[in-house]
Structure 1
Amino acid sequence: MFARDVAPGVHRIAHADVNVYLVEDDDGVTVVDSGFPATFAHVERGLQNIGRRTDDVRAVVLTHAHFDHVGSARRMRRRWQVPIRAHRDERFLAAHPYRYKHERNRLIYPVRYPACIPVMARMVVAGALGVRGVDEVTLFDGGECLDVPGDPLVLHTPGHTFGHCALYLPDRDTVIAGDAIVTLDPYTAARGPQIVSGAATADSAAALASLSAIADTGATHLLPGHGEPWHGGAAAAVELALRAGPS
């Protein structure tokens, strides 16, 4: 699914319950996250939908390097000759996207939360079991503005992964939250603002603590890595996520 202008100059590609965002300005396009292997074709069509070509893409920026966010990054790097950018603490995970720390056994979730099974099935069809990592990653530290279209300010929001980052676009009143806060948890199928369950989160306490950086932006538009965009204010979304707690 493609949705134009989910925030000013930011477009959403939703595929297999994972969101990829296209951030455009006069200098070109930044692709935020890359979904699964099969997401690649959807991103190319999304670029066409906004009248852009693949050679307008200046960079792919990863909020984090789990397999469902890095799935097309290797192909984008090779086909488009663009840098893949990520926090330095994501370097290993970008190359090995299945080797991530998590708090709880993933196998119990389909039994406890059977509503997640269709979500998982869509992910498998999209290539979730065959993701190849990317070794060539341009690293950043967090706290800086990236010199890519949209000039996002990097907010280091560890917890889901150790190098997880959100991207704040102050001139667009928007924060791209990645999986720091989502409106659909793929492992429980629960909807509404929340952190991702312990099946895929390294440290839930740290993830909840990191939400303050997102709330402090005061952004109206919050664009999550999974689920529908939230336009009721980042602070309100964070309050609901804190109330929901870990799962």
Structure 2
Amino acid sequence: MTRLRAANRFAAPRTPREVVDGVWLLGSARVNFYALTEGRSVTLVDAGFYGHLRYLNEWLELTGRRVGDVDAIVITHGHADHLGFAGDFDRRGVPVYVHEDDVAISRTTRVRRPPARIRNQMWRPAALGLLAEAAVDSVFSQPPVSGARPFTDDERLDVPGRLRAAHVPGHSPGNCVLHHPSLDVLFTGDTLMTRDPMFGGEGPVVFSEHPAHDALCLSSLRLLRPFGSAALLPAHGEPDPASGAVDVAIDHARIAHAR
């Protein structure tokens, strides 16, 4: 097991907060993940970078829980800043759910390679900041999720909240959003973000792991309209817990470009 650093001077830890009833925002200023609670049971939506396990452990202690209370992890898509520490839980027998089109890469170490968008702009200070956070948080040695369990489009997962998965093409082959019907919140992953984690800039944005697919990401937002009344919980940027936040973000979304 990779030894985790106690801190990362290139990352600004978030103060954990309950953004809607039973849903906690965790992670760093650049990369969010969420803890969905039901009694003592915890389901994680995404798993940050590998080193972000420290943020989970701090939250578990804060709320009087233990690692053993994490019963499932659901991944919005198979990129390194979402798979993070999920491999450790997979080894313990905790189910880690990934869309069927991203399962294959999630079971390998290929996700450690930076996407083309950041490789092409690596000289920019903002890109270097994200790479530094990733490197110190052990992205290049994070374990694969060898036992990743596939789910399909429109499947209702057997986890607290009965999350409904919706496949949204563009950002990655198996890119998804996850809807919590009783709370009416939408975990959008990188399908719809409120901040560009690579190059900064506030406001609703989309982009692909490869720039050639950026336009597809923008056009695919139409698939989120059935969830337009939901609160918006992205993987990058501030969540918006207001009713109808998803519709508003879709209306104002743009393709992110390096600044």
Shorter-chain TM band: 0.7 to 0.9
* 8 Å Cα contact 1:160/1:203 also seen in 2: yes
Q: Does 1:237 align with 2:240?
A: no
1:211 aligns with 2:224: no
Aligned residue in 2 for 1:176: 187
Task: State the shift of 1:44 in Å.
Answer: 2.0
Q: Shift of residue 100 of structure 1?
A: 9.1
Query: Residue 223 of structure 1 aligns to which amino acid in structure 2?
Result: L
Deviation at 1:7, TM superposition (A): 1.8
Structure 1 contact 58–83 (Cα < 8 Å) conserved: yes
SS in 2 for 1:216: helix
RMSD: 2.4
Establish whether residue 64 from structure 1 lines up as the match of residue 77 from structure 2: yes
Q: CA deviation at 1:16?
A: 6.0
Structure 2 residue 122 is matched with structure 1 residue 120: no
**Distance in 2 separating the partners of 1:64 and 1:202:** 18
Q: Give 3-state SS (helix, strand or coil) of 2:65's partner.
A: coil
Q: CA 1:56/1:122 → structure 2, altered by over 3 Å: closer, same or farther? A: same
* Pairing of 1:53-92 with structure 2 (within 5 A): 53-79=66-92, 81-92=93-104
For structure 1, the residue ranges without an aligned partner over 5 or more in a row are none
State whether structure 2 residue 204 is matched by structure 1 residue 193.
yes
Q: d(CA) in 2 for partners of 1:208 and 1:158? A: 10
Offset at residue 179 of structure 1 (A): 0.7
Distance 1:214 1:183, change over 3 A: same
CA distance 1:100–1:36, shift in 2 (3 Å):
closer
**Aligned-pair CA distance for 1:200:** 5.0
Distance in 1 separating the partners of 2:41 and 2:110: 31
1:221 equivalenced with 2:234 (yes/no)? no
User: Residue 249 of structure 2: SS of its match in structure 1?
Assistant: helix
Verify the 8 A CA contact 2:88 2:143 in the aligned structure 1: no
CA pair 163-199 structure 1, distance change in 2 beyond 3 A: closer
**Structure 1 segment 13-24 matched on structure 2, within 5 A:** 13-15=26-28, 17-24=30-37
Q: What corresponds to 1:165 in structure 2?
A: 176
Is the alpha carbon distance of 1:234 and 1:101 closer, same or farther for their aligned partners in structure 2, counting shifts above 3 Å?
A: farther
2:119 paired residue number: 107
d(CA) in 2 for partners of 1:39, 1:101: 18
Q: Tell me if the contact between 2:193 and 2:237 (Cα under 8 Å) persists in the aligned partners.
A: yes
Offset, 1:147: 0.8
Q: 1:222 to 1:66 in 2, by over 3 A?
A: same
Report the Cα offset of residue 17 of structure 1: 1.6
Shift of 1:153: 0.9
Q: Percent identity?
A: 32
CA 151–49 in structure 1, closer or farther in 2 if over 3 Å, else same: farther
Cα distance in 1 for partners of 2:28, 2:198 equals 16
1:130 aligns to 2:141 (yes or no):
yes
Deviations 1:124-145 (A, max 9, x none): 2222222221110111112021
Write the deviation string for residues 39-86 of structure 1: whole angstroms up to 9, x where unpaired.
Answer: 11211222232332222221111001111111201112224x311111
Whether the 8 Å contact between 2:29 and 2:237 is mirrored in structure 1 is no
Which portions of structure 1, spanning 4 or more consecutive aligned residues, are displaced by more than 6 angstroms?
A: 100-103
TM-score of the two chains, using structure 1 as the length reference: 0.87
Q: Distance in 2 between matches of 1:102 and 1:142?
A: 27
1:30 and 2:40 correspond:
no
Mark the CA change 1:209 to 1:105 in structure 2 (over 3 Å): closer, same or farther: closer
1:5-56 residue CA offsets vs partner (Å, 9 max, x unmatched): 2122110112262111001124721111111111112112222323322222
